[in-house]
Amino acid sequence: GPGPSDASPDEGVVEDLPLINEKAVEQLTEGLISHYLPDLQRSKSALHELTQNQVVLLETLEQEISKFRECNSILDIDALFSEAKHYHNKLVNIRNEMMMLHEKTSKLKVSRI
């Protein structure tokens, strides 16, 4: 018949485990939490500070970008004014040339008469 050598090595192990003590589980959980919680809370506050710093940094960047945009628009206006001045000078020169030509033609007409 089946002897002791036929028995499985795992047989009876589950029955040998003591009943899990709820109080012990609670104490172990509290111990684990008290061990890790301070570090986690420090990490949380560090992350919070980092996030706040990032918000400040983003706002500062936005302000700097808007300053650059203003500078660019001022440069554009400046370029426009210098272009206008250039064309104004051209117009003045053309008008002077026309007046000179007018004088010459007038003199020619007078000399022909």
pLDDT in tens, 18-56: 667 888 888 999 999 999 999 999 999 999 999 999 999
Q: How far apart are CA 9 and CA 38, in angstroms?
A: 44
Segment of 2-6, 19-23, 71-75 carrying the highest mean pLDDT: 71-75
| 103 contacts: CB under 8 Å, gap ≥ 6 | none
pTM of the model: 0.43
pLDDT at 64 over 70: yes
pLDDT of residue 37: 92
